[in-house]
Every structure is written in C-alpha cells, then in structure tokens.
A and B are shown apart, each in its own frame.
Chain A
Amino acid sequence: MAAEGGQPAPKSEAPEKKDQAAQADQKKADQKKASKDQPKAGAAAEPAGEKKLSGAELKKKAKEEKAARRAAAKTTQPQPPAGAPAQSDAKSGSKPKPKQDGPGQAAAQHGKIPAPRSAAPVTAAPKEVKPSIPDYFSHLAMAKGVNITHADKDVHPAVLVLGQQMSTMAISDSTTRLEATLLAFKKVIDSYTTPHGTTLSRHFTSHVLNPQIVYLTACRPMCFSMGNAIRWLKLQISKIDIDMADSDAKKLLCEAIDSFIHERITLADLVIVNTAADMIDEDDVILTYAHHHLVERALLKAKANGKHFKVILVDDPFERVGLGHVKKLTAAGIPVIYSPDFGALRTNLQESTTVLVAAEALFSNGAMYARAGTCDVATAAFDLGMRVTSLCETINFTERVSIDSLTYNEIDPERNTDEEFRLLFDTTRDKYISAVVTELGICSAKSVPAILRKLEEL
C-alpha cells in the first residue's frame, strides 16, 4: 500500500500527451515492422502448405490452428498489463519486451507497474504488488491495450494499428472509432480470399472477422456504436449468396460499408450539426462541456450562418480537451468564456441560456452516456430550469438500459490505480435532458426505444 512509490509522475498534461504521441509513433513503427514481417512469413508458408493438403487435412490444420490460437489467447489474456508495460517500456525507451510470461512475474519485475486487473485468479499476485483497480470499480471495463507481439496472427495490420490507437486513446470518440473500425474492416475484406472448400459468408465472419474483433475489444472495450455496426456487418455478410463470386461479394460488402458510413455517420453528422446550429438563437449564451466534434461543428456552423452568440466552455479538469476547442471557436470569432473546472458552475449557468452537450451513447431508457461530468452540468442546468440539448447519432443508440453510471463505464487506462483513478463516462437520466438532436430530428430522450424499433424496420 505504499502510497508514495508512485508511478513516474505525469508532470503535467502537455508532456504526458507528448509522451503518448511518442509512444503511439513508436508503436506505429513497430507495427509497420511487424506487419511487413508477417505477410512475408505468411505468404512464404501458406502456398507451400496449401497445395499439398487435401480437404480433410485442411480441416485438421484449421482445427490445430484454432487450438493454438485459443492457447495463445489464454496466455495473452491474463496479461492485461501489456498496455501499461508497453507504455513504461516506451518511456524507458526500449523495445517491447518478450519476456512476460505471467503478470505476477511482470509485476514483480516492475514494482511500479500497476498489477493487472484480472490478476486476482492468477496465482502470483503477492501483497506487495501495487494495489490495482479499487474494489468498488473492479467490474468496469478498461482499455488494456494488447502488445502487438501478443496479438493474434490473423489480425490484419490495419486493425493492429487501429487497436493501438484505440488503446492509447488516440482515437477515443465513439463515432470516430466506429468509422475507423469500419474502414479497417474494409481493408480486411479487401485482402481476404476465400479458402477452397468454403464460402465467404460462412468462413469470413468466424475465421477472419472475429479475431479482429477480439483483438480490438482487448485493446479497448467496444463502444455501443461499434457493437451496432458489427452486428450489422455480420448480417450483411451472412446475407451474401453462397454462389456469388469472391470479388463480387467483396465489392458488395465494401460498398455496403461505404454507404453505411455515409448514411449513418457522415450525413447524420451533417444533419445533426445543421439542426443544432438552427437551434441556436441570436444572442444566446451557450454553455458546453469539454469537447465533442459535433458540438464544435454546430457552433462553428451557427457562426457561419451569421448568428451572434457567446459560448461558456466548462472544461474537464483532468483532461483539458477544451483548450483546443476554445482556440477553434475564438479563431472563428465566437466570444468564449473558458472555465477550467466545475468551480462556479452555477454562476456560469446562470449567465447562459442553453446547454449543448454531445452524447457518447443513449440507452433505451433515455439515459445519456457521455463524458464524465456531463451529468453534473446537466443536473445543475436542470435545477436552474435551463434547456439541455444533447447531440447524438442514432448509431450510438443502444437497446441496453443503464440506471446508474457504474453499470456501463470505462476506467481511464492511464489512471487506474488507487493513487489515480478516473472514470471516463457517466450516465445522465432522461429527466435532465430536454431534447436529443439526431439525424432523424429532434426528439425526447424517452423516445430512444421507439427510434430503435423504427431503425430495425428500415
């Protein structure tokens, strides 16, 4: 319980971010190397083997492969520190180390590294190991990151990169993650050739797509929109005619993905931004929280439409994403008041006329899943009788229900110990949300299930 021994101090936001970027760069470099090596090896091995094998042998081989993969998954899975060690490795400026057999060992070697979350079942987790995630929150998911060297060999290089970007939170926003995932899957589809004796619709999902998904989930738990989109993609794959030629099927899938991105993300964003910009009145004072690209675009759009209004931006005190936001807004000529934390929130709210936030997801009970702190802003605004408008694409709607913030949440992978702990999201109940702006129009938070049904019919 040595409170002092602490991790290397993240001196301040900026250097940390730099660090992170550096890490990401290094990782990318690593990946490139890895991805270069991998296909070569694969290409060398496969054609040789493939020609000689009969159908039965092929099956056997596949089985073996699967078993091996499972075993590999088993060994890699109780190894969540992968992310953390990888980071500390990068900090100490060395290559990813291969010598991690078990978390116990790893933790013993690096007293500083927080013990893995799932270390409990692992035998060697002695007491002197840094306390991991506090008990009260141990059920919550966390982006653990997977060291590239431990990734399944079937994972496509594009997905490998994406996974690393996600686990380092370089891509963190729900919609952006979704888009990036779909684009990466397009590449996976492109590079896929259906093996002999099977068809794309039967083989692709289970043998190619699933490992990618498993890897991505291991890097960072999927967001709701990714779940929705992957379900959709699997449905599209299963619908493909068995007799369709490989190239046609692939083309069809890619086109479907393109139009999905276009409809559900690009156009949806455009519609939401326009609607939200129209909702801003002349001389409004808009209070917003931290940064979300939808809010930013809506504000800029309203300004471009010639409206005069003021913005009060309350930032997330422990992740100052709002600073960049402020710069963009001031550059566009919007007067901004920047409040770096929740201090004097009520006073700031009293000055403003409306609250504009963006949601990460909406549950079917109308609860809004958004950056931690959004709920505090919304409740304070509700107390003062103000309108709280939430922006959200319908792809982020989920049929799940959440009544408190600890049902679904994520732990900040960089702050996951007793000494530094941070949740990424919180849940705002529907009564605090006046309106939800979606690409289908402005609706109440309560109407999420109705919209979900409607979407199923489409």
Chain B
Amino acid sequence: MPSVSAGHALDLDKFLKSLKGQQLEASINSLISLLKRRQIRGSEPCAIATAHILLQVVARSKWHDVDSLLINVSRTGRRLVDAQPNELVIGNIVRRVLGLIRDEASEDRGDAGDESASEAPTPTDIVPPTSISQQWSSKRFDSVDSSTSASRPPLVSSYSSINPPKSLFHLLSTSPPTDGNVSPFKTSGASTPTWRGNASQIHALRSEVIDGIEEIKDEISQVDDQIAASAEVQIHPGDLILVHQPSPTTERFILRAAQKRKFTVLLAMAPPRRQHSPENQHATFRKKLSAAGVTVVNVMNGGLMAYMSRVNKVIIGARAVVATGGVVADAGSAAIARAAKEQGAAVVVLNGIYKLSPESPFDESSLIEWGDSSTFVSFSDGPLVSGAEIRTALTELIPPELIDTYITNLGTHSRDHLSSLIADHYKREDADFHIWEEALP
C-alpha cells in the first residue's frame, strides 16, 4: 500500500486509545498481532505505535535499575521486530529509546557522583559511541567506590558478550580526553552501569526517559513539516517532477513547493488492483495541487524510462533507509530510480531520521515485502492459480548508487553523511539488540 489508508489509521488510533485501559502485557500482545496482521503498516504508524508501547513499558513495567529497564525495553522491542521484521523503523525506535535510557542513566549518575558527567557527549556531537561507554566505566568506578564491589556482578556476564568489540574499538580509536581516566578499567569487562539508584533516582530517570520518548514522538509528528521546509530549495520553477506513489510526506513536500513555484508533476500511479478502481488514487492531492496552479499528470506506465528524458527530478518517499544508503520504498521505484539515473534526472529521497536504520541487508531481496498474490490475479482464474507462481512485491530496495540526495528532518544529506547520522542517533551497543537479546536469560 502506498499510503496509509483511513482504515489503517483507524486501527492505529484504536490501538493508542486502548493503551490506557489495558494491562501492559495485553497492549504489547495486541500491538504484535496488529503488526502481524498488517493492520498497522507503513513506517510512520509503526514508529508511532512502537514509541507509544515503549513509553508504556518504561512507565508501567517493573524495573529497579537501568539494566532491568534496558532488558525490558529491548525484550519488548525484539518481540515487535519479530512480529514485523520488514518494518525497519520499529527497530530504529527501540534503538533510539535504548540509547536514550543509556544517556539519561549516565547523566543521572553523573549528577549523583562525578562532575565529569558534564563531559558526556550530547547526541549531536559526532563521537564514536564507545566514548560513552568509557564515560560509563569511569563513572561506574566512581560510584562503585561508594558502594560495595559485590553489587557489580549480576549482569556483567550477560553484557560482557558484547564487550569485546567495544574494547577493540577503543584500542584502535584515537582517545578522547577521558582516556587517562578510563584506561585502567576499560578491560574490566563491563560497560553496564551497576548503578542502583534509590527510589527517587529511579523516579527521576523514569520521568526523564518518558520525556525523551515524548520528544521522539514529537519528532515523528513533525518530520513531514520539517522535510517540506526544504522543498523550495529542491524544486525550481518549470521543473518536471516525477513522484512515485506519493506518501503523505511526499505530498506535503510537493504541496509546500507548490505554494511558491510553478512546476509540473508527473504522478506515477500504482497499478490498478483487482478490487478497487484506480480512479480515486491521490485525488485529493491532485485537487490541492491544481488549486495551487500546478499541473498534475497521472502517468499510467510501469516503466517510466520513456518520460525520463524530460523529467528533472524524481522524488521518492522512503519506507526506510538502510545503513548502506539503500532505500526501501514502494515496489516499482527501483525501476524508476534506475531510469532516472539513465537520463541524468536527480533522485531525491524523503525520509525522516527515524527511518534511517543502522541495519544493512546482506541480501537485497530480504527486504522485499511480498504481498497478496490475489491483488492482481483472481483466485477464480484456474489456470493461473494452479500453473503459475504469482509474485507481488510491495516494497523493494533501491540500490544506493541510484540515489542522489536524502532529505531528512535534519536537512539534506549525501550518502556519505548517512553513517555519521547513524552514529549520532544510535548507540553501537544497541545496533544488534534484536540479536543479542537472545543470549539473555
């Protein structure tokens, strides 16, 4: 589905409403089944739902220290990712929350113990993620001083499984200023804060994390607007813009540009499905654009190479962006991006930062979401049903080399910059949370 239809939005709303009255576990289960049944689909609804449920986990699950909170969150996150592995945003949001908890924990501890906490990197700095763990280990040392060393062990063993890469990284990296402070302890096998706060500290942490998650939610809701802000820069008067199955983000972007510029839009339509007529696709979008004086042409071609010699820019709304810069988008967009490359048209990808995933696929076909085969072929069509294998792809991966620019809510980026954006937003130790969590008891 190219866009979130009303029905799905309704399901999301219903789910969000149900959150209040339900037990935590029940809400998680209902979200999992909603995801599995594709009743919540599309990256934005999935991200919102994930943020909400994680907020509930933080607010309502039982945890007495940072570690147990991290475990709770990542365990829930893992279940959500398993429910819908194709929606990379779910994992992204979980990682963001995990990183947030780690940050808040380190800050809190800093306040409680050491002045050096003020040196804790803010997420906007481009700092190797390990420096944070270094901070942690140093601080842990400080706080451990005051308590007994016996309080350390509980979780060390489990976390140690992810430590080697960290210390390796540390060995290789040019050290940040805290180096001297840390060096004796960096191999001690624990970045885990063995910080056992008292009730008030836990309360403070809880509210901080909740605030953080609210911020993430705000960010998601503002993404479209912020992306649209750069529309005028990208779209020039007289351009011929090709839009493939516009998502709400893309529509917003084009409409914003339409306020200032006169251009022509080619709308690449989704192929007509058996069940519903193709006529109503994007009708309101068309109406709004025509009202703004922008000509819209609905293009009913699968391959768009024929049009590309005229097209100036291709705008694609991403469902997710993987670490290599490859873009998961609606089926058919890879062919369009390829055609644009052929004729030298720029390919612009619109994606909120929350869609940028630190994962990178080993195999590009693993990110294809296969749809219902009866979308295009009727089950009453005997020879086809029995004789042929029908493949209906809903999403596919656009190879990174076909994409020129990524526009996010933080601005316009090139592919080379994506890795630092990933480093800014996710902690290295959370990158594989959905894998290492298995090792936990």
Contact = CB atoms under 8 A, between A and B. Distances in A.
Which of the four size classes fits the interface of chain A?
35 or more
A242 to B, nearest CB: 48
9 contacts: A9-B279, A320-B376, A339-B393, A343-B393, A343-B396, A347-B396, A373-B305, A380-B334, A421-B300
Interface stretch (B105-113, B159-167, B290-298, B430-438): B290-298
Main secondary structure of the interface of B (DSSP, over half): mixed
Given A131-B295, A331-B383, A343-B393, 13 more contacts: A3-B296, A135-B295, A326-B388, A327-B387, A330-B386, A341-B302, A344-B331, A372-B301, A372-B303, A373-B305, A376-B339, A379-B342, A419-B286
B392 interface: yes
A136 B384 contact: no
B271 A318 contact: yes
B299 interface: yes
B377 interface: yes
A340 B272 contact: no
A347 B384 contact: no
- Which of B300, B309, B310 neighbours the largest number of chain A CB atoms within 10 Å of its CB? B300
- Which of A2, A135, A421, A428 neighbours the largest number of chain B CB atoms within 10 Å of its CB? A421
Interface string B358-391: 0000001100100000011100010110111111
Which of the four size classes fits the interface of chain B?
35 or more
A321 to B, nearest CB: 12
Nearest to B389: A337
Interface stretch (A200-208, A392-400, A402-410): A402-410
Interface in B57-92: none
Contacts, number: 190
- Which of A134, A337, A344 neighbours the largest number of chain B CB atoms within 10 Å of its CB? A344
A245 B177 CA distance: 107
Contact of B307 (A6, A318, A344, A423): A423
Given A375-B339, A380-B335, A383-B338, A3 B286 contact: yes
Contacts of B375: 340
Nearest to B339: A376
Interface in A412-448: 412, 415, 418-423, 425-428
Interface string A10-30: 111100000000000000000
Interface string A316-333: 111010010011001100
Contacts of A379: 305, 338-339, 342
Contacts of B384: 323, 326-327, 330, 338
B332 A342 contact: yes
A425 B364 CA distance: 30
A344 B388 contact: no
A12 B274 CA distance: 7
A216 to B, nearest CB: 25
Contacts of B94: none
Contact of A344 (B298, B303, B310, B396): B396
A3 B297 contact: no
A411 to B, nearest CB: 11
